[in-house]
């Protein structure tokens, strides 16, 4: 009976692994066709200056509504795209779509910024910066209105990235270190990369007011951030308590989160902005 049971569970595990692999392969297959089938769209989440609650920019977030698979979350398919060499095409598509949709808003508000997420593979793609500059020209967007957020999902060489980052900042484009407080060598990054912005990960924001162990880390991060000459963004702000804490320890902070606004399509964003900038907002 024992042998029989272990055979069965062995087979169950095998079929699970097999299923997962098959699933990933079908996702790769459908991802390859997603661009030509126009299955990607962009939503924009406002970035709010905490001291006066004014929206100062947006972050573009990609959405994939696959005809074959339904809605797939970006943190799932971006990782697959990175692994199977499909990320660059997706990034180009995201840049084109989000710049085209934000063109009018950026033109009307010269201090407003558009943030776009990149993966490390994008940053080391030497054709990306020329592509970005050409798109900025096409849509008449000032370089100073563009921010690119990079997430470190795998251990990498921060020293070799610093030259690339320099090319962006010399062109007037800002680089933001996303998901700060997670990942592999954030402190090494801070030392080497000429980033203009740091985004503290939502896991830290959301540990505010809880008795989780991250409280000590949070205090340390706040005091570290206070010494750096960068724009400080806190993502994932969901409660007033979190906002009050951030305001107390980092009065210059920019915040992003469901307490203020969820990511939304461009038409909703435009009516949101016309309300908030007329003083009708929170």
CB of 115 to ligand C2E, least distance (A): 9
Does 29 contact ligand C2E by CB under 6 A? no
Residue pair 234/179 in contact (Cβ under 8 Å)? The answer is no
47: helix, strand or coil: strand
Does 149 contact Mg ion by CB under 5 A? yes
Query: Which of ligand C2E, Mg ion, none sits in contact with 73, Cβ below 5 to 8 A by type?
Result: ligand C2E
Q: Which of residues 223-262 bind Mg ion (CB under 5 A)?
A: 235
Choose which of 82, 152, 179, 197 interacts with Mg ion (CB under 5 A).
Answer: 179
Of 156, 82, 92, residue with least CA distance to 128: 92
**Whole-Å CA distances, 47 to 54, 212, 262:** 8, 27, 10
CB of 214 to Mg ion, least distance (A): 15
Choose which of 31, 50, 102, 118 interacts with ligand C2E (CB under 6 A).
Answer: 118
Choose which of 30, 47, 202, 232 interacts with ligand C2E (CB under 6 A).
Answer: 202
Choose which of 73, 163, 267, 282 interacts with ligand C2E (CB under 6 A).
Answer: 73
Query: Would you give the binding string for Mg ion spanning residues 89-128, x where CB under 5 A is met?
Result: ----------------------------x-----------
Choose which of 114, 168, 235, 245 interacts with ligand C2E (CB under 6 A).
Answer: 235
In terms of DSSP H, where are the helices of the chain? 2-34, 74-83, 87-108, 120-123, 128-138, 158-170, 186-192, 202-205, 214-227, 240-249, 266-276
Choose which of 101, 105, 113, 119 interacts with ligand C2E (CB under 6 A).
Answer: 119
Does 45 contact ligand C2E by CB under 6 A? yes
**Cα dihedral 233/239/242/246 (nearest 10):** 40
What crossing angle do the helices spanning 87-108 and 266-276 adopt, rounded to 10°? 30
User: Per DSSP, what are the bridge partners of residue 45?
Assistant: 59
Closest CB to ligand C2E among residues 10, 47: 47
As a whole number of angstroms, the distance between CA 89 and CA 3 comes to 50
Choose which of 74, 84, 142, 230 interacts with ligand C2E (CB under 6 A).
Answer: 74
Of 174, 161, 163, residue with least CA distance to 132: 174
Does 61 contact ligand C2E by CB under 6 A? yes
Closest CB to Mg ion among residues 151, 276: 151
As a whole number of angstroms, the distance between CA 246 and CA 185 comes to 24
Closest CB to ligand C2E among residues 202, 232: 202
61: helix, strand or coil: strand
Does 94 contact ligand C2E by CB under 6 A? yes
CB of 15 to ligand C2E, least distance (A): 30
Residue pair 257/235 in contact (Cβ under 8 Å)? The answer is yes
User: 40-49 and 254-255 as β-strands: parallel, antiparallel, unpaired?
Assistant: antiparallel
Chain residues that interact with ligand C2E, rule: CB under 6 A? 45, 61-62, 73-75, 78, 94, 117-119, 149, 151, 178-179, 202, 235-238, 256-258, 263
């Amino acid at each position: 009976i024992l042998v029989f049971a272990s055979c069965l569970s062995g087979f169950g595990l095998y079929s699970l692994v097999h299923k997962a692999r098959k699933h990933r392969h079908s996702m790769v297959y459908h991802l390859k066709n997603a661009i030509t089938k126009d299955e990607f769209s962009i939503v924009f989440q406002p970035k709010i200056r905490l001291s006066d609650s004014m929206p100062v920019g947006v972050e573009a977030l990609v959405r994939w509504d696959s005809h074959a698979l339904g809605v797939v979350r970006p943190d799932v398919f971006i990782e697959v795209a990175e692994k199977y060499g499909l990320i660059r095409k997706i990034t180009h598509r995201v840049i084109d779509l989000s710049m085209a949709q934000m063109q009018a808003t950026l033109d009307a508000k010269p201090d407003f910024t558009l943030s776009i997420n990149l993966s490390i593979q994008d940053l080391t793609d030497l054709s990306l910066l020329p592509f970005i500059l050409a798109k900025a020209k096409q849509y008449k967007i000032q370089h100073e209105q563009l921010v690119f957020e990079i997430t470190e999902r795998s251990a990498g060489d921060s020293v070799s990235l610093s030259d690339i980052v320099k090319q962006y900042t010399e062109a007037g484009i800002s680089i933001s270190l996303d998901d700060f407080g997670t990942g592999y060598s954030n402190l090494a990054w801070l030392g080497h990369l000429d980033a203009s912005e740091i985004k503290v990960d939502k896991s830290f924001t959301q540990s505010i007011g809880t008795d989780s162990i991250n409280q000590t880390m949070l205090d340390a991060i706040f005091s570290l951030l206070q010494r750096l000459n960068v724009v400080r963004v806190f993502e994932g702000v969901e409660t007033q308590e979190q906002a009050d804490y951030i305001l107390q320890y980092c009065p210059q902070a920019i915040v992003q989160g469901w307490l203020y606004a969820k990511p939304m399509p461009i038409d909703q964003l435009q009516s949101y902005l016309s309300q908030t900038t007329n003083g009708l907002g929170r």
